Structure 1
Amino acid sequence: MNMKLLGSSLIIAGTALGAGMLAIPMVLAQFGVLWGSLLMLLIWVGTTYAALLLLEASIKAGGGLGMNSIARKTLGKGGQVVTNGLLYALLVCLLMAYIIGAGDLVKKLVASLGFALTETQAQVAFTVIAGLVVAAGTGVIDRLNRFLFAAMVLMLAITLVTLVPGISLDNLASVGSDNKVALVKTSSVLFTSFGFMVVIPSLVTYNPEASHKQLRNMVILGSLIPLFCYLFWLYAAVGNLPSEQLVGFANVSELIAALSVNHGGMQLILSVFTGLALLTSFLGVAMALFDQNADTFRQNRAVTYVVTFILPMLGALLAANRFLSVLSYAGIILVFLAIFVPMAMTIKVRQHGNQSGERGNTEVYQAGGGVMALGLSFLFGCFLLMAELI
């Protein structure tokens, strides 16, 4: 895998690795690491397969297209309208949440340097500056994201090295609740933590020279990185704190403070990690929305820049202090967009046979598993929808 494809995998991983990962121990601790790990693996398998279905649809639709054009080619005008509506709602909700979270971090950072910014000023400053990076193109995002992701992994590695010696086997083995309905309800949090599929059409466009096998490996590697990060973080946090204490925390800040009691410097390290996680997620989601707007409106970069960021920024200003509420809405939308829409696209392109991306006997990528895998993917989507609505 060349550096461009590796960078693309890191964009996928960075989009998934939002600051929400820090809350995973608080959500899963009471059910024990075994059930938590099994549920996480189930979510990973389901979301990764759905992402491969979207990859198949992107390739067979011709490549070099945004979700808007892929939906029009595969699902017709009606499907295009529904897909665009879902995609815009999802991306705007996610960007609103990230702007709210990042604005708070920027405000605190500037205050530590002796300056004062209001919440509104911090959110606007972050959106304008980070938005300019997105408008510069996928290549710029790729190069910057490699650096940010390396720094984020370094922070996580330092955290794990610090916490691993203090892991208690009793804590890892403890199970505070056998309530499987409550366990299923946590699926919504885990599913949102693997919400990277929105960047796939942009990355197919960014890698026109890549083979279909390389694109498949790009998606799988990009999804594996957050899986291992989530699992390692879950074991480290649960191993250091009893499940009763973890469940009692009201927010991530309390978790960070508790871990920092016996480990000096942990608060700074995890705060830096949170900021980097928010930024990499913002860049991935914003790239998807920018490319979607470029594909839909066919305007120059300046106009697309304004169209892309004006609504999320206004929404963030109006929904201040509602980070988790906005993410919960995004989770319900994501079930339809990440599972059902790619499945419908794939069924259509398989029914129609050769598309613009196929020529003669040239081998064209197809996600494995056949009809049975598609059926299981549908059941997986129903499972997630049930978890969101319980």
Structure 2
Amino acid sequence: MKKLILSICLVAGTSIGAGMIALPMALCKIGILPTIVLILGVWFFMYLSSLIGAEINLRAGHGLPLGKLGSLYSGPIASSIGTVSLILLIYALLCAYLYGGASILQSFFASHLEWSLELKGIVLIYTLLLAIVLAAPVGSVLEVNRVLFGSLLIFFALLVLGLLYKVDSTHLPLVEKLSLQLDSWTGAIPLLSTSFGFQVVLHTLTNFCDRDPVLLKRSIFWGSLIPTIVYILWTISTLGVLYHFAPLEYQQLLVGKLEVGQFIQALAQTASWPLVQMLAAVISIVAIVKSSVGIGLALSDAWQEQFGKLNAKRQNTLKMVSVVLTLIPPLGMALFVPQLFLKALRFGGMVSIVIAILLPLWLITRPKAQERKVFYALTQRQDIQMLCLGFGILVILCEVINIIIN
């Protein structure tokens, strides 16, 4: 039971993070009822695709990163696609988190400390602080991330309870007129797929579950269902409160003129309880920092692995170079691309589809995979594979439309 709980926490903790903040900003255009249906639909497809990912790990006999699975089942091209896709995804997320974190801090400083600071200056300071954390020993970084995740869950529970208490169930934006517009859906679907990004830890989860297919399947199901419930409650509570108590900000949200920091600030101002006002700001900051530290560490370690093992005297230099390579590209984007938060998350959703669906589907059909023992018969069904493929293509088409429109 303890291993199951820890496994569920690993899946849920990987999904719940800064991307959650963006969901109401993208989903407001379609309304609450379509939002609930869409979140459940995306969860269903991401759950099915994660079983395929778990299957190829089980058949390998050991949990392996996607790049190594590509090399095992297909060859160097598949291996390169897996590795490059993962790096692109993390860069996209870091772009979003640096920009979003700076925006939230800017609004927080202006509201609570009456400090008027430039967004670019906050981006630079935030990036520097993140670099210092990532340069610390891995054990210390993991401990910081664990504390942040525990704090996030507590703050989120208190905040949602406070917001739901204020929500008038008879006065909710159930369906918006904008739901009839194509771009309302193309903007929401890729971002939602990013929010179920736990597939990157499937190899770790496989090993942690001792390659037990029953335990692994249960961990994935419950670990992905928890974020689904969290996202629905978060979206209903935030949109319901803004719709009723801050109609001007809600209209700005509908037309995409509200930055992430302004969204959190508007949310805090609607709450009459000082505790809830503070929680709205704190939870967003903690979520951004937690996600930044987690994926920043993953990419920094990936760069170190790419460089190869060096002697002990050069390990510190190698770590610093890896941190610089991790943060400089997203820093440049955060400094010079306006309204980057949602743009980067949507792009990350498109890239995550390669990692979560397209490449695993390709690998499971390779002869080397077909020769091995089948653990989940469901993953062998062609209709299931075609459903996942269709969803993956849909997400990519949505982001292509977003890029064309914008």
* TM-score using structure 2 length: 0.80
- For structure 1, the residue ranges without an aligned partner over 5 or more in a row are none
- 1:125 paired with 2:126, answer no
Worse-matched range after superposition: 299-308 or 261-270: 299-308
Q: Determine helix, strand or coil for the equivalent of 1:209.
A: coil
Give the Cα–Cα distance (whole angstroms) in 2 for the partners of residues 148 and 38 of structure 1: 30
Which residue matches 1:309? 323
Report if aligned partners of 1:199, 1:287 keep a CA contact under 8 Å in 2. no
- 1:282 paired with 2:285, answer no
Determine which of 320, 324, 329 is the counterpart of 2:334: 320
Alignment of 1:1-390 (within 5 A): 1-3=1-3, 5-102=4-101, 119-132=123-136, 135-136=138-139, 141=142, 145-172=145-172, 174-177=174-177, 178-179=179-180, 181-185=182-186, 186-205=188-207, 207=208, 209=210, 211-242=212-243, 245=248, 246-249=250-253, 250-259=258-267, 260-265=269-274, 266-289=276-299, 292-293=302-303, 296-299=306-309, 302=316, 305-306=319-320, 308-321=322-335, 322=337, 323-324=340-341, 325-348=343-366, 351-354=369-372, 364-365=375-376, 368=379, 370-390=381-401
Worse-matched range after superposition: 283-292 or 272-281: 283-292
* CA spacing shift, 1:256–1:292, aligned 2, 3 Å: closer
Give the Cα–Cα distance (whole angstroms) in 2 for the partners of residues 163 and 74 of structure 1: 49
Q: What is the identity, as a one-letter code, of the residue corresponding to 2:193?
A: F
- For structure 2, the residue ranges without an aligned partner over 5 or more in a row are 402-406
Give the Cα–Cα distance (whole angstroms) in 2 for the partners of residues 106 and 175 of structure 1: 32
Give the Cα–Cα distance (whole angstroms) in 2 for the partners of residues 332 and 173 of structure 1: 28
Report if aligned partners of 1:187, 1:384 keep a CA contact under 8 Å in 2. yes
Shift of 1:376: 0.3
For the aligned residues, what is the CA RMSD? 3.2
Give the Cα–Cα distance (whole angstroms) in 1 for the partners of residues 87 and 229 of structure 2: 30
Give the Cα–Cα distance (whole angstroms) in 1 for the partners of residues 215 and 144 of structure 2: 22
Aligned-pair identity (%): 24
Shift of 1:288: 4.0
Shift of 1:100: 4.1
Report if aligned partners of 1:213, 1:365 keep a CA contact under 8 Å in 2. no
Report if aligned partners of 1:11, 1:284 keep a CA contact under 8 Å in 2. no
Q: Determine helix, strand or coil for the equivalent of 1:169.
A: coil
Give the Cα–Cα distance (whole angstroms) in 2 for the partners of residues 352 and 63 of structure 1: 16
Shift of 1:226: 1.4
Shift of 1:166: 1.9
Report if aligned partners of 2:166, 2:241 keep a CA contact under 8 Å in 1. yes
* CA spacing shift, 1:290–1:320, aligned 2, 3 Å: closer
Q: Determine helix, strand or coil for the equivalent of 1:170.
A: coil
Give the Cα–Cα distance (whole angstroms) in 2 for the partners of residues 169 and 55 of structure 1: 40
Report if aligned partners of 1:93, 1:312 keep a CA contact under 8 Å in 2. no
Shift of 1:368: 4.2
Q: What is the identity, as a one-letter code, of the residue corresponding to 2:132?
A: V
Give the Cα–Cα distance (whole angstroms) in 2 for the partners of residues 286 and 208 of structure 1: 25
Which residue matches 2:404? none
Give the Cα–Cα distance (whole angstroms) in 1 for the partners of residues 399 and 252 of structure 2: 22
* CA spacing shift, 1:304–1:15, aligned 2, 3 Å: farther
* CA spacing shift, 1:223–1:208, aligned 2, 3 Å: closer
* CA spacing shift, 1:283–1:13, aligned 2, 3 Å: farther
Report if aligned partners of 2:52, 2:361 keep a CA contact under 8 Å in 1. yes
* CA spacing shift, 1:84–1:366, aligned 2, 3 Å: farther
Worse-matched range after superposition: 263-272 or 150-159: 263-272
Q: What is the identity, as a one-letter code, of the residue corresponding to 1:47?
A: M
Report if aligned partners of 2:30, 2:175 keep a CA contact under 8 Å in 1. yes
Q: What is the identity, as a one-letter code, of the residue corresponding to 2:260?
A: V
Give the Cα–Cα distance (whole angstroms) in 1 for the partners of residues 345 and 133 of structure 2: 23
Shift of 1:129: 0.8
* TM-score using structure 1 length: 0.83
Give the Cα–Cα distance (whole angstroms) in 2 for the partners of residues 49 and 112 of structure 1: 47
* CA spacing shift, 1:369–1:82, aligned 2, 3 Å: closer
